[in-house]
Structure 1
């Protein structure tokens, strides 16, 4: 959105309708950073795989316009191609 704001272009939604309407499970960055430091600085975590999700979810169709307003950019309502094949 910031890249679009500089030349005064609208911030179009990148993606498809599935991306627009699906739940997106993200993690709180400070929490993810703490887990990363923990695993990188403890020998007993070597060669282990870790997944971290703290339950924060969002749906872009509910957030996109709020981000656009906050950043001072226009964002038209997306139109998705419904043709199959």
Structure 2
């Protein structure tokens, strides 16, 4: 499962990174490109340091409370709205 998760992260991150254009004057395009690159790096970290990387992720998830979930949801809604406004 760890191998499959790493490969999927690399594939999706690389696809997002390569498809989105790099335009420094457009902050949303830069954000999408950076997030795609981070997803690909995360997949490589899962493949290279699977046990230790996932142990750190487990500790971070255990320390998170409901506030982080709500902030994450709010940030997702704001970013989706920003993307839809640009259409």
TM-score, normalised relative to structure 2: 0.21
**Highest relative contact order (Cα 8 Å, sep 6+), 1 or 2?**
1
Whichever structure has more helix as a proportion of its residues is 2
- TM-score of the superposed pair, with normalisation by structure 1: 0.21
